[in-house]
A = this chain, B = another copy of it.
Amino acid sequence: MVSIPVLTLKRLPQYLELLQQFQREGQSHVSATRLAEITGVHVTQVRKDLALTGVVGVPKVGHKTAELIEAIKSFLNWNDSSSCFLVGAGHLGSALLGYQELSRKGLSIVAAFDTDPALSGTTVNGVKIYGLDRFANLCRRLHINIGILTVPSEHAQATAQMMIDNGIVAIWNFTPVHLDVPEGVIVENVDMSASLAVLSHRLAEKLHHETKVERSH
């Protein structure tokens, strides 16, 4: 089996976003050239990425927008939605509970869990919040295999372990903690710090450079 480059996987949602916009605008066809121009990704790269989803384009016209959207969605398994649990309904957790788009990306949060007794029993955006004591039972009964981790950093590892112990095999980790998990368990980190690091360094570089240029005049 050909393994898909991670970077391709990461670019696909970007194409998808654009394609959906094009579709709303009523454009029936889109060329790789066009996608490349807008995203800044090299044309050849776009072609390679799209090729992996199995679509074929026609010369001079490109790809059928609808077909391409379907291809990407089905490739990412974003067509039918997977149920998942969220643990840690704090600032970030409740933002995610209120994030409508998730369902369009194949993810449906069916329940949330929090240690805070004040939150227990409440509902955020239609999702009920339970105490942690309910986790094991519900998780096994509903055969949940995706967990969203938004607890404070110091509880990240223990919470991840609890998830795994109850059958969760994929963790979407929003904490900056590196999770130590058994082989076979998928951990995907949403690394805001990483992104901020790039921003900070780039900006510092830019400002520093500008100061130098100014001085030299």
Contact = CB atoms under 8 A, between A and B. Distances in A.
Given A99-B91, A206-B169, A6 B77 contact: no
A79 to B, nearest CB: 10
Contacts of A145: 203, 207
Contact of A9 (B75, B94, B189, B201): B201
Given A94-B95, A105-B193, A199 B170 contact: yes
Nearest to A150: B95
Contact of A13 (B13, B17, B176): B176
A198 interface: yes
B202 A195 contact: no
B201 A170 contact: no
A146 B194 CA distance: 16
A110 interface: no
Number of copies of this chain that the complex holds: 2
Interface string A185-213: 01011111111111111111011000000
9 smallest beta-carbon distances between A and B, as pairs: A13-B193, A10-B194, A95-B95, A77-B204, A91-B98, A188-B199, A91-B95, A170-B203, A92-B95
Given A14-B194, A190-B190, 11 more contacts: A6-B198, A9-B198, A10-B191, A17-B177, A40-B178, A91-B95, A105-B196, A172-B196, A186-B206, A188-B195, A190-B195
